A and B are shown apart, each in its own frame.
Chain A
Amino acid sequence: MKLIVCVKQVPDTSGVVAVKEDGTMDRAAMDTITNHDDLAAVEAALQIKDATGCKVVVISMGPPPAEGMLRELLARGCDEAVLVSAREFGGSDTYATSQILAAAIKKVGVEEDDIILCGRQAIDGDTAQVGPQIAEKLHVPQVSYAADIQVEGKTVTVKRLLEDGYMTLKVQTPCLITCVKELNQPRYMSVGGIMEAYSKPYAVYNFETLKDDPLIDLDTIGLKGSPTNVYKSFSPPVKGAGMMLEGAGKEACEKLVALLDAKHLI
């Protein structure tokens, strides 16, 4: 049994947002962190590893500096890391990203009893699409919004969050599960782990590595191959100093609620 965890390095939301000419985000100009939901997926994998002794492979698509994040995850206890990085992959939307990651996962190899774990969504795009799209491209069942995962042989029981409760689902491996950050509390790196992190297997998959996979077609990957394109991107009007409402009665409250409604906040 092996666990493959997809992780993304994302800009720190508390930092400054920079945008490039083509409307995509200028990631290089921002501080980066490991996406929160993905850390929960890594921790879930490490807990399963603690219980079963299986192998954990982390995989990330991104620019070369993402290596730092992958080394940190190796230091937490993951066994192998793969960085998927190529100029041809840049600017991919969720569809193109999932094609590339699915091809990379196939290259790592998906066995009968393997589980692929992803975060529910990344804080930069907030789409929650890549996980399910990878599952579709790999033809494996998916369970999203996992708040509890129990593995018993080839059977996985997952508590899947709904807005107003949860569903308990049973699925057979190989399968893909997307995790929410409420699933667990990620562990820290250990000193021993950091020492070992640089001697663990680390691979870079570029366009050459993956190009023979039928999913990798220059027409369906990267900025040009993505089905969706940015038509316009813009900033909301600058937040003013705030607005004091006249009076403190029913009228003021109703006015406030109307303002919130107009801004689609409620």
Chain B
Amino acid sequence: MSEFNSRDTAAFKGVWVFCEQREGAIMSTSYQLLSEGRKLANDLGVELCGVLLGHNMGEGAVKALGGYGADRVYLCDHPLLETYTTDGYTKVICDLVAEKKPEIFLIGATNIGRDLGPRCAARLHTGLTADCTHLDVDVAKYKEFLKTTSTIDVDNTVFEENTNLKMTRPAFGGHLMATIICPRFRPQMSTVRPGVMQTQPYDEAGAAKTVIDRVAVQLSKEDIHVDVLEVKKAAKKLVDLIGADVVVSVGRGISKDVAKGIALAEELADALGGVVGASRAVVDAGWITSDHQVGQTGKTVHPKIYVALGISGAIQHKAGMQDSECIIAVNKNESAPIFEVASYGITGDLFKVTPMLTEAIRALKASK
């Protein structure tokens, strides 16, 4: 690591993806990143490598990385890498980067990736862009992307031609998008928001062709300054309306069958990875506890997706959710005020629409 020079940009080649595993299972983000990394590697005409740290990982799991696009897998196997630690993973990865010098290094923006990425970037003296939602190396492709996603007059704007990685991310709660580059240092590092990149179909032939490079890991107990006492899966989801990315709220429209209405909302929230909210009417009626209440006297939320099921949209309710990135309203009454703030509206019975919506989301997620 001592002679490593991140400024010698010409010496770096290849696209790398950090393949995160938890308890021996590869995270789906890794496949998404490999699929995306494949495109970048093709545009640059270079190799795509997966970097996998763990202990006694199954042959199938390693080969699977090839099935999603990796030409090569750097397999770092060591008992101390079984569970994630900042120190252990950072050392092994930085040693490998210093030796092999990749030009692009992608990491999933999971709680672990967002811990690891900045630590590595700081050690390697290079730039890191957080939570990217779009990546390009090719300027023409970048321009195509801007045509549909921005208000920029693409044809009358000057773009500097280069093969730097153009890392686009939402800034400031999605009010603004920024494309970031790291022109003077390598590797160009980026954490990528989970769920954004599309996973390409698994390719059996790709898996068979993958080269597995077993890395001689230099790591000892003294390198790790944190003891992992316990890793635990949460038993029950707490109601965290403010922190949730998705809120599925129910209103008076569930009165026909309260228990079923709430159950349908829970299923939809579960499919989207969110929590259940409610209007004041529902809380006042005692159908749900007040920690679920959204609105002026409840909580103010601005999730990525807010689903309003059977909520008319009184001003007091709207005050608590109208800044959500995307609002979906389902209501029987087509003139309900909720539709004034909705990004998408469906006029219909929530008892019929909600299960179909849940089904469609599950089908999409299963296909990814």
Chain A contacts to B: CB under 8 angstroms: 11, 13-14, 17, 19, 23, 25, 93-95, 98, 123-133, 135-137, 141-145, 157, 160-172, 175, 181-182, 226-239, 241-245, 247-250, 252-254, 256-261, 263-266
Contacts and interface: CB of A to CB of B under 8 A. Distances in A.
B345 A236 contact: no
Main secondary structure of the interface of A (DSSP, over half): mixed
B176 to A, nearest CB: 6
B364 A242 contact: no
B182 A227 contact: yes
Contact residues of B: prevailing secondary structure: mixed
A227 B127 contact: yes
Most buried by A among B180, B185, B228, B240: B180
Contact of A243 (B151, B345, B349): B345
Contacts of B182: 227-229
Contacts of A252: 346, 348, 353
Nearest to B117: A129
Given A143-B86, A169-B226, A256-B360, 7 more contacts: A25-B176, A128-B130, A133-B118, A143-B226, A144-B114, A247-B348, A265-B305
A266 B130 CA distance: 19
Contact of A182 (B175, B243, B327, B356): B243
A90 B364 CA distance: 44
Interface stretch (B74-82, B165-173, B207-215): B165-173
29 contacts: A13-B172, A14-B323, A17-B172, A17-B176, A19-B176, A25-B176, A94-B128, A129-B118, A141-B226, A142-B86, A144-B111, A160-B111, A162-B111, A163-B110, A167-B232, A229-B181, A229-B182, A229-B183, A231-B166, A232-B146, A233-B171, A242-B344, A244-B346, A244-B347, A245-B344, A250-B360, A252-B348, A257-B361, A263-B326
B229 interface: yes
Contacts of B262: none
B150 A237 contact: yes
A167 B85 CA distance: 11
Contacts of B175: 17, 235
Contacts of A123: 172-173
Nearest to A235: B151
A265 B127 CA distance: 27
Interface stretch (B39-47, B51-59, B335-343): B335-343
Given A93-B127, A230-B179, A98 B171 contact: no
A231 B180 contact: yes
Interface string B144-165: 0010011110000001100010
B225 A141 contact: yes
B111 A163 contact: yes
Given A161-B111, A231-B179, A264 B195 contact: yes
A132 B119 contact: yes
B178 A266 contact: no
Contacts of B284: none
Band of interface residues on B: 35 or more
B172 A11 contact: yes
Contacts of B177: 233-236
Contact of A136 (B122, B240, B356): B122
Contacts of A157: 229
B184 interface: yes
A266 B361 contact: yes
User: Among A175, A244, A266, which residue has the most Cβ atoms of chain B within 10 A?
Assistant: A266
Contact of B121 (A133, A145, A168, A253): A133
Contact of B130 (A127, A168, A265): A127
B291 interface: no
